[in-house]
Amino acid sequence: MPLTRQTVASTLSSKLSLLKLPPELQKDLMTGARKTEHVRNPSKLSPEAQKAKANERAEASKRHAQSRQHATTASAGVGRLAGIAVIMYVPCGR
């Protein structure tokens, strides 16, 4: 997909806005403690509010990932149980 001027401008603007974050949040990004999506677009807030918003987004992201993993694990467990039931049924059939 070719890049348009608008796409490039938007990407640059998004990356440059990270430079306006408080040093603590910038450090968290550099060390991998936070993801870009957790700190995106809060630059108009106070540093304390930016951190609170980033924490809120990180927690929501964590909960979402855990619920997806739980759903995947649960469905895999059902599949395994169904497989066991079939294996147990086949030898008993005549």
| SS3 state of residue 1 | coil
**What is the distance between the alpha carbons of residues 60 and 47, in angstroms, rounded to a whole number?**
20
DSSP state of 2: P
- Render pLDDT for 15-42 as a digit per residue (tens, 0 to 9): 888 888 888 888 988 898 888 887 776 6
Average pLDDT, the chain: 76
> Per the structure, how many domains does the chain have?
1
Which residues constitute the domain of residue 38? 5-92
> φ and ψ at 65, to 5 degrees?
-65, -40
**What is the distance between the alpha carbons of residues 80 and 56, in angstroms, rounded to a whole number?**
36
> φ and ψ at 19, to 5 degrees?
-70, -15
pTM given for the model = 0.51
